[in-house]
Structure formats: C-alpha cells, structure tokens
Chain A
C-alpha cells in the first residue's frame, strides 16, 4: 500500500469517529475534479497528507478490489443469540434471554 493510500485509509478511519468531518466531506458538491480538490483540502486541514491523485487512485482501487472482509459482513448479517446449555443449573428465575 502506498503512503498516499495509507493516508486516505486513515482519513476515512478518522471520519468514523468524527461525524462533523464526515458531514463536511459529504456536503462537497461539484464535478469530480472540484470534489476531489475540496476533499483533499479538507483532509489536509484535518492533518492528513492526501492529494487529488491519491483520492482518485484509491477510489479506483477500492472499486476494483473486495475491500470488505467477510467478518465485517458476517457481523452485520448474523444475529447474536443467548444459548442455554445443560450446565446451567439456575434457570428458575434465571434470565437466559429470548427463546
């Protein structure tokens, strides 16, 4: 992974915890060049060394490859269930969750 790509990844990771930053980027409008230019400026203001070419290249790489790992999808798709087992000796009054 190039340094530029790493900076882009880090910038997106920052937006996970900073909704104001995310909103700033989400509000950028214009043609592709205008959007990337302004986005690079916002990233710079937030402390990330990101160029327009980095953004363009990273988006292409993201679109080409499978950037999601299966674990991320599995966590969303599968629910979690409480399971009562033979070993529980305290079910009278013991809350074992939904059946």
Chain B
C-alpha cells in the first residue's frame, strides 16, 4: 500500500482538558469537535510526517481519516509538508474552558444610566498591557480557544491592535466584541480583519430618540448608527442590544424599522439588569410591561417575515426567516430555535459551566451577572493566581458544575412541574438577586412559564 500522509488544516488545533481529553478546535470560527480515542489517534498522526498506511494504522483509522478530511479538519499532503507547531496536541490540567468573556477595560467614553460595570467610574480598575500579556498567557496555558472582548468599552484602548496581535499569536480567537459602537472606525476593523478575525459585534443601541438619554452622552445616537453601518460595510455580523425602560419603550417601532434598514443580523431587547448604575432606577418596566412590549415587537416581526434574529428578554430567541420559505409551524426550528430539554443530569447553565467572565480587576466570575453580588468578593483573581489552578477551585467549581438535579433537590415545586424540561428552574443570578438564594427557583422564569407567556410567544412567532 503506498504511503499516505496528511496534516491538520491550518485553523485546527488539537487540545485536551482534564474532563475532556481529546478535542479538535477551530480557533478561527469556534468549531469544536470532541474526539474519541481512535479519531484522536488519527488526528494526532496528521502531522505531515507519519505514514497513515503503515502498520501502525488499521482500516478503522483509514475510515476516520476520510471523515476528518471530508470534514475539513485534515487534508492530504506530501511527506514533510510543514505543520504549525501550535496545532500539536496539548493538554491542560484544568477542566474545559470553551471561552472567556474578557473585560479588557473598565473605562468608557459614555456614561450609561444602566451600566452594570458602573463605568466610567473605573471602580474595577484597569489592566495595563503587561497585565493583559500575563492574562493571555494564562489563557494559552489553560487551552482557552477564544475570547469575547468587552469592557467598559473595549475599543477605547489605544493598544487594542496590540491586544489583537497578542491573541492571534497565541491562536486564541476573538469570537465577539461588545461595544457601544461610537468608536467603530474602518481602521480598527481592519486590524481585526487583517489578523484573520471576524468577530460578531454586539452593539448597544437603546432606541431612536432615546439613545442619547440612556447613554448619558449627547450626539452618540448618530455615531452609533454610523458605527453599525461601518460594521456592515466591512461585512461583519452585528447584533444590536437594546436596553428598554419607560423612557425608551415608545421608540421601539421606529427602532425596529431602523434595525431593518441597517440590515442587522440580530436584535436583542431586554430591560436593564438590576445592578450597577441601574440599581434604584425609577423608570424600569414591570414584568407585565416588558411582556407587552416584547409581544408587540414579536407580532410585527412575525408579520414582517422575520427579517432578523430576535431575542426578546427571556421570552425566546427567534430565528430570522429565510426569504421564500414558508412558516409552517410544524417545521423544526421555524421561527424558533429548538430549545434544549433539561434533565436532572443537565448542567445548570452551559455558559457558566465553561465560559466564565473576567473583570478588569482580574476577578474571575462564572457569569457577568454576579458582578455586583456578594459572591463577586469570594471569587478568585487571575492577577494573583493562575487560571489553570483557579478553574479547579472548589468554590468556583461548585457553581460551574451545578447540575439541574442539585436544584431539583432544593425545589420540590420544580420536581413536579410540567415546565421543568424547558425552564430548568431558571437562572441562578435571578434566583440570587430576587430571593437571596442562588439555588432557589427563579421566580421570573416561573412566572413566564407557568402563566403561559413562553408558550404564547412561541405561537405568536409562527403566526401569519
């Protein structure tokens, strides 16, 4: 049998963690494949120098090689073709981290009424570039494949191009950028694109005619709209995130039309979270008001053919309708993302389990929602400790490894509830902030499911 050589295609890396020993990760687009022992054996041999037709490989391995090549993870090559050393298998002795929401600054050019970070007070201090290098090195050692950049306002950092290059050099993808959109320029976008990153931009915009008031800065509405247009012209995907209250809610119809004209990929609407600057606010919407507002947006969206992805607070994530497709309510995924069904063995939260949030003072949180809670003070700090070590920290793991069975054991009502498979006892942050007990059932989720609001919204999303 003639010799056969292969190598991983250049965006794929072989990585392992203590709880998931073998995986192939595409650090550019976030694709992630758990590998069995046999497929790992073959993938590891895709090094440009190992003869895959030698005695060390069986027919089963040849089949797996065909699968890897068909999937674009590997490619045939000649003996000795070069391979990037960074692709070589590396195992971190910490549990899996799929990504980190990385707050690279607490500074901001705006003064938002609802900022959960209380920027620009800089109360979470700021990271020097040397700090950033140290943190990114930790990410690398812990096999973190990607980050989402946030702040404060991440684009405010003058050294952002250096941050981009730093991450690129470590083969860490930039999956998303959370931004107020005001500082978006062609020049900074070119820095992302030239380094091969195409992050999803999540841009904050709080309503036509209301945005400047919400953001505490005159003239920023026009700048944000310009920023979104610049992003779209650069071919970058954009989701607009709108915080809504009694001041801005009447602007939603006009804002909806703006979202269409800007050709955004997604629009997310929710009231601000009760933390940071928003605590004590008097213009917040009640649950009933939020539901009413979201219902009117959803009806308009459905009648309009679902022009973009739509996430309405905690009432559902609705997929853009492709033009020309029918809206048969029986078609899987039509207008509604297929929701995962929770069981007792499900992780409490897939995000918390493997996608922590890093504050600019180095505090590592399971979720950004814990920022202003008492829990934050108990969490480890990466400016003083190593990520690989703290990700094994029992206190952090108690939260990250929480399973639904732990909640069922604490909440008899959930154990017998018909909605548990979709609700899963709700969000732990809401449970903590609403009841003081992070393991309690989430009263807001309870209301939304038991009073039929979720069901009603799903029906509305497919209505003609």
Stretch of B134-142, B237-245, B323-331 contacting A (4+ beta carbons < 8 Å) = B237-245
Complex contact A85–B60 (CB within 8 A): no
Does A96 sit at the interface, judged by CB under 8 A? yes
For A92, what are the chain B residues with a Cβ–Cβ distance below 8 Å?
A: 116, 241, 243, 270, 272-273, 368
Known: A71-B36, A87-B424. Contact between A97 and B30, CB under 8 A?
Answer: yes
Does A67 sit at the interface, judged by CB under 8 A? yes
Does A1 sit at the interface, judged by CB under 8 A? no
Complex contact B237–A89 (CB within 8 A): no
**Distance of A71 Cα from B457 Cα, bound (Å):** 36
Report A7 CB to chain B, min CB distance, Å. Answer: 15
Q: Which of B31-45 contact A (CB under 8 A)?
A: 31-41, 44-45
Does B335 sit at the interface, judged by CB under 8 A? no
For A80, what are the chain B residues with a Cβ–Cβ distance below 8 Å?
A: 32-34
For A39, what are the chain B residues with a Cβ–Cβ distance below 8 Å?
A: 55
Known: A68-B63, A91-B311. Contact between A97 and B175, CB under 8 A?
Answer: yes
For B59, what are the chain A residues with a Cβ–Cβ distance below 8 Å?
A: 59, 62-63, 67
For B71, what are the chain A residues with a Cβ–Cβ distance below 8 Å?
A: 76-77
Complex contact A88–B427 (CB within 8 A): yes
- Secondary structure type dominating chain A contacts: loop
Complex contact A91–B268 (CB within 8 A): yes
For B116, what are the chain A residues with a Cβ–Cβ distance below 8 Å?
A: 92-93
**Distance of A93 Cα from B27 Cα, bound (Å):** 22
Complex contact B67–A85 (CB within 8 A): no
Does A72 sit at the interface, judged by CB under 8 A? yes
Report B259 CB to chain A, min CB distance, Å. Answer: 15
Complex contact A87–B99 (CB within 8 A): no
Q: Which of A51-99 contact B (CB under 8 A)?
A: 59, 62-63, 67-68, 71-73, 75-80, 82-99
- Cβ-closest chain A residue relative to B266: A99
For A94, what are the chain B residues with a Cβ–Cβ distance below 8 Å?
A: 101, 351, 357, 367-369
- How many of chain A's residues have a CB under 8 angstroms from any CB in B? 46
Known: A22-B56, A90-B369. Contact between A79 and B32, CB under 8 A?
Answer: yes
Complex contact A82–B31 (CB within 8 A): no
Complex contact B422–A86 (CB within 8 A): yes
**Distance of A69 Cα from B248 Cα, bound (Å):** 56
Known: A99-B239, A99-B265. Contact between A93 and B368, CB under 8 A?
Answer: yes
Report B31 CB to chain A, min CB distance, Å. Answer: 5
Complex contact B41–A16 (CB within 8 A): yes
Stretch of B163-171, B188-196, B377-385, B441-449 contacting A (4+ beta carbons < 8 Å) = B441-449
Does B109 sit at the interface, judged by CB under 8 A? no
**Distance of A87 Cα from B103 Cα, bound (Å):** 24
Q: Which of B18-71 contact A (CB under 8 A)?
A: 24, 29-41, 44-45, 50-51, 54-60, 63-64, 67-68, 71
Does B90 sit at the interface, judged by CB under 8 A? no
**Distance of A25 Cα from B54 Cα, bound (Å):** 8
Report A98 CB to chain B, min CB distance, Å. Answer: 5
Stretch of B212-220, B222-230, B313-321, B393-401 contacting A (4+ beta carbons < 8 Å) = B313-321
**Distance of A93 Cα from B340 Cα, bound (Å):** 22
Complex contact B37–A89 (CB within 8 A): no
Across the interface, B339 reaches (CB within 8 A) one of A16, A59, A85, namely A85
**Distance of A85 Cα from B34 Cα, bound (Å):** 23
- Cβ-closest chain A residue relative to B63: A68
Does B98 sit at the interface, judged by CB under 8 A? yes
Does B106 sit at the interface, judged by CB under 8 A? no
Across the interface, A93 reaches (CB within 8 A) one of B60, B101, B309, namely B101
Does B200 sit at the interface, judged by CB under 8 A? yes
Known: A72-B36, A76-B33. Contact between A90 and B98, CB under 8 A?
Answer: no
For B35, what are the chain A residues with a Cβ–Cβ distance below 8 Å?
A: 75-76
Report A81 CB to chain B, min CB distance, Å. Answer: 9
Does B303 sit at the interface, judged by CB under 8 A? no
Complex contact A97–B99 (CB within 8 A): yes
Complex contact B54–A26 (CB within 8 A): yes
The residue in B309, B315, B427 that gathers the most chain A C-beta atoms within 10 A of its C-beta is B427
Does B361 sit at the interface, judged by CB under 8 A? no
**Distance of A63 Cα from B340 Cα, bound (Å):** 39
Q: A59-B59, A76-B36 are in contact. List 7 more A-B contacts (CB 8 A).
A: A75-B35, A76-B33, A80-B34, A94-B357, A98-B176, A98-B200, A99-B200
Q: Which 7 A-B pairs have the closest CB atoms?
A: A95-B101, A90-B369, A72-B36, A89-B427, A25-B56, A26-B54, A95-B148
Contact sample, A vs B, 21 pairs, CB 8 Å cutoff = A26-B45, A26-B50, A26-B56, A62-B59, A79-B31, A82-B350, A85-B424, A86-B315, A86-B316, A86-B317, A87-B427, A87-B442, A89-B369, A89-B427, A92-B116, A93-B368, A95-B99, A95-B101, A95-B150, A96-B351, A99-B266
Binding site for A on B (CB under 8 A): 24, 29-41, 44-45, 50-51, 54-60, 63-64, 67-68, 71, 73, 98-101, 116, 148, 150, 175-176, 178, 200, 237, 239, 241, 243, 265-266, 268, 270, 272-273, 309, 311, 314-317, 337, 339-340, 349-351, 355, 357, 367-369, 422-424, 426-427, 429-430, 442, 444-445, 448, 454
